[in-house]
Amino acid sequence: MQADRYTPPKSRTVSFGAAFLINGVIIAGLMFSAPHVLPGAPETILQTENIPLPPVPPPEPPKPQPKVEQRDIAQAPAPYIPPAPIPVPQAPVLDGTDRLPLDLPPPGPVAQPGPTTTGAVETPKPVVLPLVGATQDPRYARDFQPEYPSNELRAQRDGVVVVRVRIGVDGRVKEVQQLSATSPAFFEATRRQALAKWRFKPATRGDVPQESWKQITARFLIENL
């Protein structure tokens, strides 16, 4: 019994032997795998030298560019593009056999073309003011009646004279024309009185006095004497 206590077990012995065997295999592999260096082989030494680069030439100065004369070039007008025509809708075609004719009014008279006018501008015509006729000056009303002819007075004859007188711008009678008279004596008395005594306010056009003609009737009555 005691002898078996001190005897090492077989399993432990086998473990130690396997461990030594494995270590030996590893050491042998390292020895064979190491590089084989020949003794006395010459050592190669590389020498390097800096080669200077050639100097870079300076850049050439820019050449002067030729001056280009700028001219104003008128732009050509854009070509005229006519507007697109507007489509006109077609009127529906009616079947004449199913429609009654319309009662249209008779055609009226055709207007005649008026006179053609030129493009010249017409000069406006001056406005002609109306003529205001001469009137008898009331300040000389008592001098209007002519003197009664003596021979007609003795004959106790009445008379009527109608004359046409030309009145100047000063209101005086410049000319007497006979239109009718009962006798030459009545006309002569009327003519002398008109040239010597009759006074009028002259006719005017605007504010300007105008020469004019006026018809006057002179009556000779015995009963007024």
pTM higher than 0.85: no
pLDDT for residue 6: 46
Task: Considering only residues 46 and 150, tell me which one the structure prediction assigns the higher pLDDT.
Answer: 150
Summarize pLDDT for 101-122 with one digit per residue, the tens. 445 556 656 666 666 666 567 7
**C-alpha 4, offset from chain centre:** 140
Beta bridge partners of 212: 167
Domains and CATH numbers, the chain: 131-224 (3.30.2420.10)
pLDDT for residue 221: 96
pLDDT for residue 218: 97
Is the pLDDT reported for residue 125 higher than 70? Answer: yes
User: SS3 string of the chain?
Assistant: CHHHHHCCCHHHHHHHHHHHHHHHHHHHHHHHHCCCCCCCCCCCCCCCCCCCCCCCCCCCCCCCCCCCCCCCCCCCCCCCCCCCCCCCCCCCCCCHHHCCCCCCCCCCCCCCCCCCCCCCCCCCCCCCCCEECCEECHHHHHHCCCCCCHHHHHCCCCEEEEEEEEECCCCEEEEEEEEEECCHHHHHHHHHHHHHCCEEECEEECCEEECEEEEEEEEECHHHC
pLDDT > 70 in the chain, percent? 55
pLDDT for residue 62: 72
Distances (CA, A) of 129 to 71, 136, 205, 212: 67, 22, 6, 15
pLDDT for residue 30: 64
Is the pLDDT reported for residue 99 higher than 90? Answer: no
- Work out the average pLDDT over 3-20: 55
- Work out the average pLDDT over 193-208: 96
pLDDT for residue 1: 46
Is the pLDDT reported for residue 70 higher than 70? Answer: no
Distance of alpha carbon 44 from alpha carbon 217, whole angstroms: 170
Is the pLDDT reported for residue 191 higher than 80? Answer: yes
- Ranges 24-28, 76-80, 92-96, 200-204: which has the least confidence: 92-96
First to last CA, the chain: 222
pLDDT for residue 97: 43
Summarize pLDDT for 126-185 with one digit per residue, the tens. 888 999 999 999 999 999 999 999 999 999 999 999 999 999 999 999 999 999 999 999
**Contacts of 74-82 spanning 24+ positions with Cβ under 8 A:** none
Question: What's phi and psi for 130, nearest 5 deg?
Answer: -70, 150
pLDDT for residue 86: 72
